[in-house]
Chains A and B, each alone.
Chain A
Amino acid sequence: MPSHSFEASVLPHLDAAFNYARWLTRNDADAEDLVQDASIRAWRFVAALRGESARAWFLTIVRNTWYDRFGRTPAATTVPFDETRDDRSDGTLDPEARVMQREASDRVQQAIASLPVDFREVIVLREFEDLSYKEIAAVVGIPIGTVMSRLARGRDRLQDLLASDGTTGGPA
Chain B
Amino acid sequence: MTCNDAADALDPYVDGELAPDEAAAFQQHVETCAACRDRLEQRRALRRAIRRVPYRAAPERLRAAVATAPRGRSIRPLLAWAATLLLGVSLGAAGAVLARRGEAGTASEVLTEAVVDAHVRALMGDHLLDVPSSDQHTVKPWFVGKIDFAPPVTDLSAEGFPLAGGRLDYVAGRPAAALVYRRRQHTIDLFVWPDAAGGPDETATLRGFNLRRWSRGGMSFRAVSDLGAADLDAFVRALQR
Majority SS at the chain B contact face: helix
Q: Once the chains bind, are A85 and B59 in contact (CB under 8 Å)? A: no
Query: Residues of A within 8 Å of B, CB-based: how many?
Result: 69
In the assembled complex, the Cα of A170 lies from the Cα of B37 at a distance in Å of 12
Q: Once the chains bind, are B17 and A85 in contact (CB under 8 Å)? A: no
Q: Once the chains bind, are A168 and B52 in contact (CB under 8 Å)? A: no
Q: Once the chains bind, are A141 and B10 in contact (CB under 8 Å)? A: no
In the assembled complex, the Cα of A37 lies from the Cα of B146 at a distance in Å of 12
Q: Name A15-73 residues within 8 Å CB distance of B.
A: 15, 17-19, 22-23, 28, 31-32, 35-45, 47-48, 50, 57, 60-61, 64-65
Is residue A4 contacting chain B, with contact meaning CB distance below 8 A?
no
In the assembled complex, the Cα of A10 lies from the Cα of B70 at a distance in Å of 11
Cβ contacts under 8 Å, A94 to chain B: none
Q: Name B1-49 residues within 8 Å CB distance of A.
A: 10-12, 15, 17, 38, 41-43, 45-49
Cβ contacts under 8 Å, A39 to chain B: 66, 69-70
Measured CB to CB, the closest approach of chain A to B22, in angstroms, equals 13
The segment from B98-106, B110-118, B135-143, B210-218 that touches chain A is: B135-143
Cβ contacts under 8 Å, B158 to chain A: none
Measured CB to CB, the closest approach of chain B to A109, in angstroms, equals 5
Q: Once the chains bind, are A143 and B135 in contact (CB under 8 Å)? A: yes
Cβ contacts under 8 Å, A86 to chain B: 54-57
Measured CB to CB, the closest approach of chain B to A14, in angstroms, equals 4
Is residue A169 contacting chain B, with contact meaning CB distance below 8 A?
yes
Interface size on B, as a range, is 35 or more
Q: Once the chains bind, are A14 and B148 in contact (CB under 8 Å)? A: no
Is residue A158 contacting chain B, with contact meaning CB distance below 8 A?
yes
Cβ contacts under 8 Å, B51 to chain A: 127
Closest to A28 in B: B59
The contact sample of 12 A-B pairs, CB cut-off 8 A, is A11-B66, A15-B58, A43-B69, A48-B147, A86-B54, A88-B54, A89-B54, A133-B12, A141-B131, A141-B142, A159-B46, A170-B42
**Which residues of B pack against A, CB within 8 Å?**
10-12, 15, 17, 38, 41-43, 45-59, 62-63, 65-67, 69-70, 75-76, 79, 83, 131, 133, 135, 137-138, 141-142, 144-150
**Which residues of A pack against B, CB within 8 Å?**
6-7, 10-11, 14-15, 17-19, 22-23, 28, 31-32, 35-45, 47-48, 50, 57, 60-61, 64-65, 85-89, 101, 104-105, 108-109, 112, 123, 126-128, 132-133, 137-139, 141-144, 148, 151-152, 155, 158-159, 162, 167-171
